[in-house]
């Protein structure tokens, strides 16, 4: 299948070429040229996440250079089937997407992307993956490419705006993975990465790849866990599942919308934002007004200008039509804290600040009379955010083993000014 740019100027390219490129040369984001549709019966016999992923993603890669390797890529990236379990006593569920190497949902997309890029022919010069992160992306991408021959990774993160434990994780890989702490915000990091990626002359000098949620190679695989969870629920209860998705750059929420578009038994979709309310404002009827990001407790969602909105608008150009498809709600820091305390006291569940946004938005929906089966998507393990969660619940949270091993390694990050030329210099030499 071909991929098209949302800006409509760059020519269509093969899906794998779009994955390798990251950003389209006209500055747009790539999208598949059409969306195959399925019915739940098409997945008969598919039990695991990997099995669902192979069937769901096959049409995109049918005539592609990656096609032959797709099953192996899925076996690797989707090895962990995320638990879907009840949360509390009613019809609320939680989908735990944090059982991968860095304990956040981004492990799925990063591993799939690394598998795709590893399956494509490359030149002699290693490919440098440049990635901006507000915390979790960088670690997931670092883990996915660490010691992968033919690849280097440059992680850019906003200095002082990620938690100490996240910062440690970002700098602990070594070898072919380097961390840069940028004097600026996440949006500044993202702009730096975009400026390097859209510089054709520089890319002919230093071959670059993208791994941000703008990469189609991360967006497509994220549909898989929504497909899997909704199918399992459909088989058991014969009802659609409604989702609340913690949202920052809108990659995860968009994947849920796309899975529903492909015919999976998904009902309502609600985006849960933190105090960065650009999406809630739009879905409440306001204009789309991206702005600078605000620092919050759910820092992986501190995004003032969600990149993937461009994809959503491209798919659904009419604002009214778009607002009919999904909704969004904002949660402030005080409410995040109260929700973490409440989940602990009433259910004995420790949840991360991002998950807390979704849990609270679901509570609001229930209070407003929402019926049916709803899932709050749990995007990270609470042990990634001990500074926030532990004082609220009054005890230490045990680390998942993979995370514990990572935190025992030494960590190093290099300072970088918010300056495109400084970044290009560092990427040239090193």
Ligand X SMILES: *Cc1c(COP(=O)(O)O)cnc(C)c1O
Q: 17 vs 313, which CB is nearer to ligand X?
A: 313
In order, the DSSP letters of 135-157 are SHHHHHHHHHHTT-TTEEEEEEE
Q: How far apart are CA 304 and CA 66, in angstroms?
A: 34
**Least distance between ligand X and beta carbon 251 (Å):** 3
Q: 254 vs 393, which CB is nearer to ligand X?
A: 254
The dihedral built from the CA positions of residue 120, 124, 130 and 131, taken in this order, carries a sign that is positive
Q: Does 252 bind ligand X (CB under 6 A)?
A: yes
Q: 4 vs 271, which CB is nearer to ligand X?
A: 271
Q: 23 vs 380, which CB is nearer to ligand X?
A: 380
**Least distance between ligand X and beta carbon 339 (Å):** 14
Q: 43 vs 309, which CB is nearer to ligand X?
A: 309
Q: How many residues does the chain have?
A: 430
Q: Does 280 bind ligand X (CB under 6 A)?
A: no
Q: Which segment (78-86, 244-252, 321-329, 360-368) binds ligand X by CB under 6 A?
A: 244-252
CA distances from residue 416 to 70, 198, 199, 293, 423 in whole angstroms, order as listed? 37, 20, 19, 20, 7
Q: How far apart are CA 331 and CA 362, in angstroms?
A: 11
Q: Does 249 bind ligand X (CB under 6 A)?
A: yes
Q: 167 vs 300, which CB is nearer to ligand X?
A: 300
Q: 32 vs 248, which CB is nearer to ligand X?
A: 248
CB burial class (10 A; 0-12, 13-18, 19+) of residue 166? buried
Please, which of residues 121-150 interact with ligand X by CB under 6 A?
A: 136
Q: Which segment (21-29, 53-61, 247-255, 363-371) binds ligand X by CB under 6 A?
A: 247-255
Q: Read off φ and ψ for residue 210, nearest 5 degrees.
A: -110, 150
Q: 301 vs 383, which CB is nearer to ligand X?
A: 301
Q: Which segment (37-45, 119-127, 245-253, 313-321) binds ligand X by CB under 6 A?
A: 245-253
Q: Is 337 helix (H, G, I), strand (E, B) or coil?
A: helix
Q: Is 355 helix (H, G, I), strand (E, B) or coil?
A: helix
Q: Does 106 bind ligand X (CB under 6 A)?
A: yes
**Least distance between ligand X and beta carbon 168 (Å):** 16
Contacts of 135 (CB under 8 A, 6+ apart): 157, 162, 163, 166, 299, 300
In 231-336, DSSP assigns E strands to 241-246, 266-273, 327-330
Of residues 29, 192, 220, 250, which one binds ligand X by CB under 6 A? Answer: 250
Q: Does 213 bind ligand X (CB under 6 A)?
A: yes
Q: How far apart are CA 191 and CA 27, in angstroms?
A: 12
Q: Does 270 bind ligand X (CB under 6 A)?
A: no
Please, which of residues 362-391 interact with ligand X by CB under 6 A?
A: 379-380
Q: How far apart are CA 177 and CA 122, in angstroms?
A: 19
Q: Does 301 bind ligand X (CB under 6 A)?
A: yes
> Binding marks (x or -) toward ligand X, 319..358, rule CB under 6 A?
-----------------------------------x----
Of residues 246, 280, 382, 400, which one binds ligand X by CB under 6 A? Answer: 246
| CB-based contact 245:273 (threshold 8 Å) | no
Two tokens at 275? 């105090």
The dihedral built from the CA positions of residue 293, 295, 296 and 302, taken in this order, carries a sign that is positive
| CB-based contact 375:243 (threshold 8 Å) | yes
CB burial class (10 A; 0-12, 13-18, 19+) of residue 219? buried
Q: 66 vs 380, which CB is nearer to ligand X?
A: 380
Q: How far apart are CA 366 and CA 426, in angstroms?
A: 51
The count of residues interacting with ligand X (CB under 6 A) is 17
Q: Does 400 bind ligand X (CB under 6 A)?
A: no
> Binding marks (x or -) toward ligand X, 75..104, rule CB under 6 A?
-----------------------------x
Residues forming the site for ligand X (CB under 6 A): 104, 106, 136, 213, 246-253, 300-301, 354, 379-380
């Amino acid at each position: 299948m071909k991929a098209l740019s949302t800006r409509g100027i760059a020519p269509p390219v093969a899906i794998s070429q779009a994955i390798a490129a990251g950003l389209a040369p006209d500055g747009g984001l790539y999208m598949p040229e059409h969306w195959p549709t399925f019915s739940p019966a098409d997945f008969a016999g598919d039990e695991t996440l990997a099995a669902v992923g192979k069937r769901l993603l096959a049409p995109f890669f049918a005539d592609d250079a990656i096609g032959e390797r797709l099953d192996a890529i899925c076996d690797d990236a989707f090895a962990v089937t995320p638990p879907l379990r009840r949360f509390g006593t009613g019809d609320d569920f939680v989908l735990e997407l944090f059982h991968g190497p860095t304990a956040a949902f981004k492990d799925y997309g990063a591993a799939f992307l690394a598998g795709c890029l590893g399956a494509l022919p490359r030149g002699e010069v290693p490919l440098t993956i440049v990635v901006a992160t507000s915390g979790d992306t960088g670690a997931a991408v670092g883990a996915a490419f660490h010691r992968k021959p033919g690849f280097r990774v440059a992680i850019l993160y906003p200095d002082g705006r990620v938690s100490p434990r996240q910062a440690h994780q970002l700098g602990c890989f070594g070898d072919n993975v380097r961390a840069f702490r940028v004097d600026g915000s996440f949006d500044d990091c993202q702009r730096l990465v975009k400026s390097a990626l859209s510089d054709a002359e520089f890319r002919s000098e230093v071959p670059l790849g993208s791994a941000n949620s703008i990469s189609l190679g991360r967006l497509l695989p994220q549909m898989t866990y929504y497909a899997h969870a909704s199918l399992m629920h459909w088989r058991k209860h014969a009802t659609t599942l409604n989702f609340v998705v913690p949202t920052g750059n809108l990659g995860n929420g968009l994947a849920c919308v796309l899975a529903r578009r492909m015919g999976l038994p998904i009902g309502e979709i609600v985006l849960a934002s933190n105090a960065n309310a650009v999406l809630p404002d739009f879905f409440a009827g306001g204009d789309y007004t991206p702005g600078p990001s605000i620092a919050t407790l759910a820092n992986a969602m501190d995004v003032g200008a969600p990149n993937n909105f461009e994809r959503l608008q491209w798919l659904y150009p009419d604002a009214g039509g778009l607002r009919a498809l999904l909704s969004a709600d904002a949660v402030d820091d005080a409410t995040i804290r109260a929700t973490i305390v409440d989940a602990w006291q009433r259910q004995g569940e420790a949840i991360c600040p991002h998950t807390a946004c979704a849990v609270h938005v679901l509570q609001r929906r229930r209070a407003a009379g929402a019926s049916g089966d709803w899932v709050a998507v749990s995007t990270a393990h609470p042990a990634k955010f001990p500074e926030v969660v532990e004082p609220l619940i009054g005890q230490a949270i045990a680390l998942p083993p993979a995370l514990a091993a990572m935190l025992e390694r030494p960590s190093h990050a290099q300072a970088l000014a918010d300056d495109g030329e400084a970044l290009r210099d560092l990427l040239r030499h090193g």
